[in-house]
Amino acid sequence: MTTYDHYTISDYDLAVEALRARTSVQPLVGLILGSGLGTLAESIEKADYIPYNEVPRFPQSQVLGHRNRFVAGTLEGVSVLAMQGRIHYYEGFSMQAVTFPVRVMQRMGVKVLIVTNAAGGLNPSFAAGDLMLITDHINLPGMAGNHPLIGHNDDALGERFPDMSAAYDPQLCAVARSTAQAKGITLHEGVYMGLSGPSFETPAEVRMLQRLGADAVGMSTVGEVTVARHGGMRVLGFSGITNMLVAGETHGQEVSHADVLAMGRDKIAPALAALVRGVLASLRG
Ligand code: HPA
């Protein structure tokens, strides 16, 4: 199934208008918090909460473990607009719908997007519970024709053929590395493979993904990052490795959404929160 939606700037701006009616925050940084990683939004100060179902045109996500609301406020002295829960392709939304929130952020004036996700580890040097700085990605659905920028290009939003040679901002990556070091957080680095989901990978698929050069795999992020780059945002991304994927036997290596959520919440979210706070503090300038 490949579906396309066509949104215009007036669709995005209807959503922006609704947000502006609920918050006076002028966000510099957008935060997308993945499965089990939404707790950081609870510590946003002077917070305004705007449920997605109160935002016109907004796709309505139902995934367990997501609060499905915007949280606008201040974190480490920086104005932020956080998404507690994201829209997933596997819910049946088009890639244009999946990336609708990024356009809303763009029209709200967000300049830096920090994305987080829960991911399966493909690099054998990783372990469940680890964090990975995303230095690059492979947009497999996009390469196969399911790309959020297919369709009419509005030059007011971005250029027809956006450059993706440094999608994950090298300067922000450097800040993340030094923050991790200063806080004693182990931070792996690698390539994130975005797939549609919702099934987890077979052992043969795991082997294939490893050979394609991926270090972690998940069901989100690549569309959002592509649209953010199209819109001129600087991007920083982190994967929380909730489980390791094994290329050989399946025996004893089952993956479940409940395990993904629990690992995200208990082990990864606290380290990720410290890391994101450190990066934000450095953006305060
Ligand atoms: N595969 C795909 N997506 C995921 C995984 C996985 O193993 N773990 C968390 N998200």
Q: Whose CA is nearest to atom 9 of ligand 1?
A: 119
164 belongs to a structural domain: yes
User: Is the confidence at residue 83, as pLDDT, over 60?
Assistant: yes
Q: Is the CB of 149 under 6 A from ligand 1?
A: no
1 belongs to a structural domain: no
Q: What is the pLDDT of residue 191?
A: 98
- Active site (annotated) includes residue 192: no
Q: What is the pLDDT of residue 23?
A: 97
- Active site (annotated) includes residue 35: yes
Please tell me which residue in 15, 35, 108, 273 is annotated as part of the active site: 35
25 belongs to a structural domain: yes
pLDDT digits (tens, 9 = 90+) for 6-31: 999 999 999 999 999 999 999 999 99
2 belongs to a structural domain: no
96 belongs to a structural domain: yes
For residue 251, how far is its CA from the centre of ligand 1 (angstroms)? 17
As a three-state string, the secondary structure of the chain is CCCCCCCCHHHHHHHHHHHHHHCCCCCCEEEEECCCCHHHHHHCEEEEEEEHHHCCCCCCCCCCCCCCEEEEEEECCEEEEEEECCCCHHHCCCHHHHCHHHHHHHHHCCCEEEEEEEEEECCCCCCCCCEEEEEEEEEHHHHCCCCCCCCCCCCCCCCCCCCCCCCCCHHHHHHHHHHHHHHCCCEEEEEEEECCCCCCCCHHHHHHHHHCCCCEEECCCHHHHHHHHHCCCEEEEEEEEEEECCCCCCCCCCCCHHHHHHHHHHHHHHHHHHHHHHHHHHHCC
The CATH code of the domain that includes 45 is 3.40.50.1580
3 belongs to a structural domain: no
Alpha carbon distance 241, 59 (integer Å):
27
For residue 217, how far is its CA from the centre of ligand 1 (angstroms)? 6
For residue 249, how far is its CA from the centre of ligand 1 (angstroms)? 17
Q: What is the pLDDT of residue 285?
A: 67
User: Is the confidence at residue 255, as pLDDT, over 90?
Assistant: no
* Total number of domains in the chain: 1
Q: What is the pLDDT of residue 251?
A: 46
Closest CA to 263 of 67, 65, 92, 112: 65
260 belongs to a structural domain: yes
Burial class, 140, CB count within 10 angstroms (exposed 0-12 / middle 13-18 / buried 19+): middle
For residue 154, how far is its CA from the centre of ligand 1 (angstroms)? 33
Q: Whose CA is nearest to atom 5 of ligand 1?
A: 120
Domain boundaries, position 227: 9-283
- Active site (annotated) includes residue 79: no
165 belongs to a structural domain: yes
User: Is the confidence at residue 187, as pLDDT, over 60?
Assistant: yes
- Active site (annotated) includes residue 257: yes
Closest CA to 117 of 277, 282, 263, 283: 263
- pTM, 2 dp: 0.95
